[in-house]
Amino acid sequence: MSWTVFFVAIFSSMLINNVVLMKFLGVCPFLGVSKKTNSALGMSAAVMFVMVIAAFVSYLLYYLVLVPLEIEYVQTISFILIIASLVQLVEMIIKKVSKKLYKSLGVYIALITTNCAILGIAVENITSDFAGQYGLFPGLAVAVTTAFGAALGFGLVMFAFSSIRERLEGSNVPEAWKGVPVSLITAGIMALAFAGLGGIVG
């Protein structure tokens, strides 16, 4: 397995298969927490934190517990519970360890429990069968890299979208388009731009 695999995993999950604009996962925080750039960055950082850890834990849980016990059908519910537990754990650790980090991420950490992008990436890492392609532990590295790339992609579109929305606040938008309509049109145009990257990686 060469380094190209990791590069392709990051590039592909960040830009080509962007979690928000191509897979339409995590649209709730994309629209709800993107009015201000600071909030968008805070949410992105919290998502990145949890998404990578959730991908790591859920992959190991699936291959080391669910597959040997032949109970793969409880995958979704177990991933939901793992993500919810991780969010609680991460919030608790942040409370104890870093006052500064808690101030910047505290509000957003709890919201991540309901972010379907986290669950989507965890499930996709399993359906992509990285373990079958590369072996159990190299597959784990690819899965975590994919999650990291997806989180970077989430952060990228959150930052870009929130910046555009901030500029739209002060611009001369027709009355009927103000607020949500122009935001949705902007999101659509951004999705078209990202769709243009399709096919770069085979």
Partner 1 sequence: MIPAVVFVTVMVVLFLGTFMLNKNTPAPVDMRISDARCSACSNYGCALKQEEAEES
Q: Between residues 96 and 132, which has the closer beta carbon with respect to partner 1?
A: 96
Is residue 77 involved in binding partner 1 (CB under 8 A)? yes
**What radius of gyration do the chain's Cα atoms show?**
18
64, 81, 193, 201: which one binds partner 1 (CB under 8 A) = 81
Give counts: helices (H), strands (E), the chain: 9, 0
3 binds partner 1 (CB under 8 A): no
By CB under 8 A, which span of 5-13, 68-76, 138-146, 188-196 interacts with partner 1? 68-76
**Location of structure tokens 């399993």:** 126
Residue 91 sits in the site that holds partner 1 (CB under 8 A): yes
Cα–Cα distance, 48 to 55 (Å, whole number): 11
Tokens coding 83:
């993500």
Structure tokens belonging to residue 192: 């078209």
Q: Is residue 193 involved in binding partner 1 (CB under 8 A)?
A: no
Separation of alpha carbons 13 and 151, rounded Å? 9
In the complex with partner 1, the residue whose CB is nearer, 69 or 176, is 69
> Which residue matches tokens 């739209």?
168
Q: Which two structure tokens, joined as six digits, stand for 201?
A: 């990686």
64 binds partner 1 (CB under 8 A): no
Contacting positions for partner 1 (CB under 8 A): 28, 31-36, 39, 65-66, 69-71, 73-74, 77-78, 81-82, 84-85, 88-89, 91-92, 95-96, 99, 102-103, 106-107, 110-111
